[in-house]
Structure 1
Amino acid sequence: MAIGYVALVLHAHLPFVRHPESDYVLEEEWLYEAITETYIPLLQVFEGLKQDGIDFKITMSMTPPLVSMLQDPLLQERYDHHLAMLEELVELEVEHNAQNGHIRYLAEHYASEFNKARQLWERYDGDLVTAFKQFQDSNNLEIITCGATHGYLPLMKMYPQAVWAQIQVACEHYEQTFGRAPRGIWLPECAYYEGLERMLADAGLRYFLTDGHGILYARPRPRFGSYAPIFTETGVAAFGRDHESSQQVWSSEVGYPGAAEYREFYKDLGWEADYEYIKPYIMPNGQRKNTGIKYHKITGRGLGLSDKALYDPYWAREKAAEHAGNFMYNRERQVEHLHDIMHRPPIIVSPYDAELFGHWWYEGPWFIDYLFRKSWYDQGTYQMTHLADYLVANPTQQICQPSQSSWGYKGFHEYWLNETNAWIYPHLHKAAERMIELSRREPADELEWRALNQAAREVLLAQSSDWAFIMRTGTMVPYAVRRTRSHLMRFNKLYEDINIGKIDSGWLEKVESMDNIFPKVNYRVYRPL
């Protein structure tokens, strides 16, 4: 009989990137890469487990921006073209490397993988949200929500209406998508501040996730640390991240993804191939980019890219199985140790970005597959669970006040508020003030109603924590700056036009077609609480 629980939690999120005004924008490929390398492989894993009678349990956030993009006909059409280009390139690679045995073997591997992706894509008619929903309907997958646009909530807490809009719009969008209210929420960046749980309760949410120190430093100090959820006074539960299991997978120094046998992310055909050969498959302006076809393995620490050896999926899969067994073994020992101390079943919550599995760590979906299979057949110490099932089975927990926290650098807020991105917040705050002001209006006609709702969309999109994050990381900064400014400028124009009673209907229609997230949003969500 199991004496503890292990809960794998995946955070599936991408910022809302959709540019119908352009034929090609590189940043749209963030979605296409994630579909090919993460979301489709995860669905393949879930289908295989279900087919083999393994009653797996996993929790997964699907953020409103991601769901909106996955359901968007324009992006579905563009992804279909993206996948077709990959299929064409890899078939060319198979022919081009007819005399190069190992490279041909790898090209055939990718050809097989892209073919399987095509089959799944067409089987669901491009609707991956419905594909994931079927596993929620069978209670294998618990899908939770997030902030409407992944806004960093602690940095907008001086405007409770703005925080409420992020939560309520997300919950409404979830219900429109999945046919029921969400039970849990992945707080954007796992960022929590004291009092937030009251809004979560008002929105009907049952639980949220925070980093481990959000639980460890709670008041009073939780008796079981982060190995049991705590209940806030509102009745909303808080689950804390387990650092030990997280580090084993996530750490760039000691984590599994750094193994020599695994695929090297930074050595890609798009940068390696002859320019004239690869030109039809890179950016329209002729700049090179990643294709997702990678022929080399990590090989060893400290090596330059020129020293990387050729990759072999067979041995990489073997290593993924070994690592899954190691993860299982460590969780067994951890559960046994904790159970002896706690005298009750502990829960080990292991949350990760979903895109780690497949995109950054190519073998990650194999690891998940092996982990569920080994946990099902090879041990009886712990039970794999998702968070909703755990709360049903364990309805009594200690009442505490969680501590302010995030899962970012140093555990608090400085990754999203520093010298690289601090300039955005006065503008975001002013926009929130103006949106709260607009929320009190009663529209004179349908045009003003549309303008008010579009103003709400623009504020939400400007608030995405992804833009501040990108500014801090130093990659794709011009795009993040441009997106922040464009949403703020569109909002300010709407605000001014609404107030003077002269709304440019043609311009509004254009903006509605570009920033079409949350088609059923109601601007009154910003009304004073």
Structure 2
Amino acid sequence: MGISLSPTLCHMLTDDFLIQRYLEYTEKQIEFGEQELDRTAGESEHNSLVKFFYDRVVERKAFFTGRYDKNILKGFDYYQKKGRLEIMATSATHSFLPFYTTCPEAVQAQFEVAISTYRFYFGKIPQGFWLPELGWKADLDSWLRSYNFAYTMVDAHALVFARPFAEKGSFYPARTPLGVIVFGRDFYAAEDMAKMTRDPLYRYNSRDQGFELPADRVKPFLGPHSSRTGTGYKYWAVGQDGSGSVLYNPALALEKVKGQARAFLDAELSRLKTAGELMDGSALSLCAFEADSFGRFWYEGPEFIEALFREGAKLEETQFMAPTEYLCKQDPSTFQNLTPEYSSWGVNGYAETWLDASNDWMYRHTMRAVERMVEITERFPNNTGLKERALNQAAREILLVLASDWSKMLYKQENTEYARNQIESSLRNFTTIYEALGSNYISTEWLTHIEKRHNIFPNINYRVFRRKN
């Protein structure tokens, strides 16, 4: 199994402030669960459901503070060292890289911070690179090769419409002109997964007790101006009509998960058998999904993954392998040389998710800021002290504004005010530093405040934006 943990996520998972916030939230969940157990004492079905969620929160806290010592990256690293998991690198702030290939220093910074962060947390050089949003453009081939990545992944149509076209479709890896191995995502597996998540027995995510009980019962979860927030206690299943009006039954949901895992495997094996016959060889299925599909959007998702591996272990014809393990067992001469088509796994398969009327305004400001970042890196190549701190913070602000999350949120009309504020805040902070360096005066108090507020990549070196000859 392979997984991509972005440098941004790695930093967040080890940030003391966020860890403390998480523990405080967990404590609130436990206290609320105890109140709910008392409130529902006379309703056996509701009470057993409360107990189910309460026990999970308690167990989760025990694992987090005990087994993983408040650092779950240690768990990922442990399983990688045992050979059970392969952690892939990805760009520093999950930037949609095809947009920035005309500004090489932006792509360079994303790669270099990604590699240094990976080495810091996992103590080794990554073999694979996960392209954020599976965003591929032919120009990225040289970047992947220059940073010694052995493989990457693209969506299925990148291979189907490749030049020349992929003779084995997306059921077998290919090789780029510069020798990077490219795996194509199994489109059919993604379709099957999307259908499964809507089963009537699964938990309904849109009804949380934090929004249904009287305010005095959810006081710990009230935000500013008594705004409501989620408690994690959700008692309803999707139901046949999708309205979330049927009481959730965890046991039935778990049985459904096991059945769907078997059905998923059967469908995959059938397709692979057919593809293998057409290819005159063994076919491969790359099942790639967004991690928040498992747990956040699909509550039973983690149980599905477990059931999938348990069911697969019973079948002799099934093998689960991480990408590097698979490549070690293949003859490289069997990989077709081709250039994948420009693509992503966004809406309609190209780039409209990150560039349309809702978000196009940001790019002229972003590009101008990147050009200025390169400029001040050239102007101040060897500075130390306060100026170096300012330059490092400028680099952080640029990387933050390059994140693909903001344009995606604007496109989806989700938390648009927050996304716009994040873009404008980072651009404003960068401009303040740029102008301060020009006037040779930087407010230490202001800089310290910004360093604490946007403290990502504490060991960053602003010279990652330096122009290379």
TM-score, length of structure 2 as denominator length? 0.97
Q: Residue 141 of structure 1: which of 78, 85, 99 is its match?
A: 85
The answer as to 2:42 corresponding to 1:93 is no
**TM-aligned CA deviation for residue 285 of structure 1:** 2.7
**TM-aligned CA deviation for residue 238 of structure 1:** 1.2
Q: Residue 329 of structure 1: which of 266, 272, 287 is its match?
A: 266
What residue in structure 1 maps to residue 411 of structure 2?
472
Paired positions, count: 464
**Deviations, residues 302-354 of structure 1 (Å, cap 9, x unaligned):** x435xx11000000000000000101111121121111111221110011111
Shift of the 365–444 alpha-carbon distance from structure 1 to 2, 3 Å rule, reads closer
- Structure 2: how far apart are the matches of 1:371 and 1:425? 42
Residues 145, 184 of structure 1: 8 Å contact kept: yes
- Structure 1: 5+ residue stretches without partners: 1-57
What residue in structure 2 maps to residue 179 of structure 1?
123
Q: Considering only aligned residues, what root-mean-square deviation do their CA atoms show, in Å?
A: 1.2
What residue in structure 1 maps to residue 197 of structure 2?
257
**TM-aligned CA deviation for residue 369 of structure 1:** 0.6
* Counterparts of residues 164-175 of structure 1 (less than 5 Å): 164-175=108-119
- Structure 2: how far apart are the matches of 1:156 and 1:115? 45
SS of equivalent to 1:185? strand
What residue in structure 1 maps to residue 300 of structure 2?
363
What residue in structure 2 maps to residue 35 of structure 1?
none
* Counterparts of residues 185-224 of structure 1 (less than 5 Å): 185-224=129-168
- Structure 2: how far apart are the matches of 1:274 and 1:490? 41
What residue in structure 2 maps to residue 237 of structure 1?
181
Q: Residue 154 of structure 1: which of 98, 119, 123 is its match?
A: 98
Residues 136, 142 of structure 1: 8 Å contact kept: yes
The answer as to 2:216 corresponding to 1:290 is no
TM-score, length of structure 1 as denominator length? 0.86
**TM-aligned CA deviation for residue 243 of structure 1:** 0.7
Residues 257, 304 of structure 2: 8 Å contact kept: yes
Specify the code of the residue in structure 2 equivalent to 1:152: F
Q: Residue 399 of structure 2: which of 440, 452, 460 is its match?
A: 460
Specify the code of the residue in structure 1 equivalent to 2:365: H
- Structure 2: how far apart are the matches of 1:373 and 1:498? 59
- Structure 2: 5+ residue stretches without partners: none
Residues 153, 184 of structure 2: 8 Å contact kept: yes
What residue in structure 2 maps to residue 17 of structure 1?
none
**TM-aligned CA deviation for residue 492 of structure 1:** 0.6
Specify the code of the residue in structure 2 equivalent to 1:505: T
Q: Which has the higher contact order (CA 8 A, sep 6+)?
A: 1
* Counterparts of residues 295-314 of structure 1 (less than 5 Å): 295-301=235-241, 303-305=242-244, 308-314=245-251
**TM-aligned CA deviation for residue 395 of structure 1:** 4.0
SS of equivalent to 1:134? helix
What residue in structure 1 maps to residue 312 of structure 2?
375
For structure 1, which segment, 440-449 or 171-180, has the greater mean C-alpha deviation from structure 2 after superposition?
A: 440-449
- Structure 1: how far apart are the matches of 2:243 and 2:327? 48
**TM-aligned CA deviation for residue 280 of structure 1:** 2.6
Q: Residue 78 of structure 1: which of 21, 29, 44 is its match?
A: 21
Residues 335, 382 of structure 1: 8 Å contact kept: no
Residues 336, 381 of structure 1: 8 Å contact kept: no
The answer as to 2:372 corresponding to 1:434 is yes
The answer as to 2:349 corresponding to 1:411 is yes
For structure 1, which segment, 466-475 or 393-402, has the greater mean C-alpha deviation from structure 2 after superposition?
A: 393-402
How many percent identity over aligned positions?
33
The answer as to 2:439 corresponding to 1:495 is no
What residue in structure 2 maps to residue 387 of structure 1?
323
SS of equivalent to 2:19? helix
Following TM superposition, the consecutive aligned residue runs of length 4 or more in structure 1 with deviations greater than 6 angstroms are none
Residues 145, 170 of structure 1: 8 Å contact kept: yes
What residue in structure 1 maps to residue 384 of structure 2?
445
